Amino acid sequence: MRKVSFSRWVLISLVWISGVPSVASGTQFPDTPAGRQAAAWLEAFNKGDLARYRDFLEKNFPSRVGQLDREMGFRQMTGGFELRKVEESAPTKLVVLVQEQLSDQFGRLTVEVETAEPHLITKMDMQRIPRPAEFPLPHLKETDLIEALRSKVGSDVTADRFAGAVLLAKNAKPVFERAYGLADREHKIQNTLETRFRIGSMNKMFTATATLQLAQGGKVGIDDPLGKYLTDYPNKEIASKVTIKQLLMHTGGTGDIFGPEFDAHRLELSTLEDYVKLYGKRGPKFDPGSRWEYSNYGFILLGLVIEKASGENYYEYVRKHIYEPAGMTLTGSEPEDQAVEGRSVGYTKMDSSIGQLQPNTDTLPYRGTSAGGGYSTVGDLLRFANALQSHKLLSADYTELLTTGKVDTPMGRYGYGFGDRMINGTRCFGHNGGAPGMNGDLEICPTPGYVIAVLANMDPASASHLSDFIVNRLPNQ
């Protein structure tokens, strides 16, 4: 689905910018040109005052003024940042660790300034990073975790930072599940546990599972080139060099689908083949297999491989071979112009100059695809997790192949359509998704036996913050 901010796996595209001196942590910015500029700039960001922030940028970082609305939206999403550690300090360069004030998430902020007065900022970016081991969070008893979760969700709902549904399961059965907020603000329709939320890139888990089913059945070879299945694929280099395995891992260099071309043809892209007509002549962005770069287009291609290898329409295949065996009755990818009972309205502040929630209708694709954009419920996501772990969908060996990380990413390791990471000492695998007006996350943590599913009809990282909050504090025994 559209790359905007988080998803742990989708937010990778976002350039983070912010931070402020922290009294709580006792850490201070160094008294250097870079340190002083960073402290002042980040303090202006944290205040959230549009006029003050614009004034600072105009005087100190004028090239960033054009991104003002986007950055203020990011400020609303994160609540600003707290300085946690200085990693590197020189007169004109500073590298620090900061933490979101609204979540457990860490980032590594790099600031560079000119040598001469007034030391204008020449570079500032932030990379999202896993929470460092030196900043552990306490593991809670299950009853204490649920109490803490109730308080956290209640605070987010009151502040209008979350509307959606939250589910925590232990040994395949829910121990906490509740819906919050409105599915349709205009008509005052409440979210329920059966509300269908758009799930963005979480569809990739279904696509990857389907691909591995076909591999297990001998119909797909994961080391085969794409061209073995898409014999008339327009770009011959992609067809001959990119393998199914590389598409599953985002190492094929097949690029993305979002940008001006997508915006211009958004409602015309009604089939997977339509995406190939638009993007199929492009060559690889880099030598296939040489590095990792998130590729929605790569999963579009996997959807077509599934069709060629199975002889079934992609949507029918996942319905018959994944949703039905798992008991997922409220999950699908019907076109947006078709009425779907219980499907929520997504609300976004992204690209909004007035900073108010607006329906995300004009950002939605024609329909969800093999790359993302379908809809589901927290209950159906638990059913999917249970079916996967009980080997209803794949054998034990192929389930492990599917979910085990194989390539390093900025936020952990990536397997075949599943992220695989250690979170405060607990291994979890899953995927999340995010786009304007939608955010979701599924985390499957096999050793302690927990599954976390959070879905929201609001911008990232409304659901991911809550998912992280839970996973970071899971009981460790």
> Is 164-472 the same fold as 11-129?
no
- Alpha-carbon distance 284 to 5, whole Å? 24
- Alpha-carbon distance 138 to 54, whole Å? 39
pLDDT at 269: 95
Q: List all residues 6 or more positions away from 323 whose beta carbon is below 8 Å from its beta carbon.
A: 206, 329, 331, 332, 380
CA dihedral 285, 288, 294, 299 (to 10 degrees): 110
- Alpha-carbon distance 325 to 119, whole Å? 62
- Alpha-carbon distance 383 to 327, whole Å? 6
- Alpha-carbon distance 149 to 145, whole Å? 6
3-state secondary structure of 120: coil
Angle subtended at Cα 207 by Cα 203 and Cα 212, rounded to the nearest 5 degrees: 145
- Alpha-carbon distance 220 to 6, whole Å? 32
Q: How far is CA 155 from CA 159, 162, 404, 466, in A?
A: 6, 9, 35, 11
Contact assessment for residue 177 and residue 192, using Cβ atoms and an 8 Å cutoff:
no
Would you list the domain boundaries of the chain? 11-129, 164-472
Taking the CA atoms of 308, 312, 318 and 322 in sequence, report the sign of the dihedral they define: negative
* Beta-ladder partners of 243: 225
Q: Give the pair of three-digit tokens for residue 42.
A: 């980040």
pLDDT at 458: 97
Ranges of the chain with pLDDT below 50: 1-24, 353-354
Contact assessment for residue 413 and residue 421, using Cβ atoms and an 8 Å cutoff:
yes
Dump pLDDT digits (tens) for 269-313. 999 999 999 999 999 999 999 999 999 999 999 999 999 999 999
- Alpha-carbon distance 318 to 208, whole Å? 10
Strand arrangement of the beta sheet that strand 106-113 belongs to: 81-90, 93-100, 106-113, 121-129
Reference 438, options 384, 376, 383, 380; nearest CA is: 376
Reference 247, options 416, 411, 405, 402; nearest CA is: 416
* Beta-ladder partners of 164: 180, 456
Taking the CA atoms of 48, 109, 152 and 157 in sequence, report the sign of the dihedral they define: positive
Under DSSP, the state recorded for 202 is: T
pTM, rounded to two decimals: 0.89
How remote is the C-alpha of 425 from its chain's centroid?
21
3-state secondary structure of 213: helix
Q: Which CATH architecture has domain 164-472?
A: 3-Layer(aba) Sandwich (3.40)
CATH for the stretch 11-129: 3.10.450.280
Query: What count of other Cβ atoms lies within 10 Å of the Cβ of residue 13?
Result: 15
In b/e form, how buried is each residue of 382-413, taking b as 16+ CB within 10 angstroms?
bbbbbbbbeeebbeeebbebbbebeeebebbb
Q: Where are the alpha helices (DSSP H) in 159-295?
A: 203-216, 236-241, 244-249, 260-265, 272-279
Q: Give the pair of three-digit tokens for residue 435.
A: 């786009």
Q: Where are the alpha helices (DSSP H) in 266-343?
A: 272-279, 296-310, 314-318, 324-326
* Beta-ladder partners of 451: 169, 444
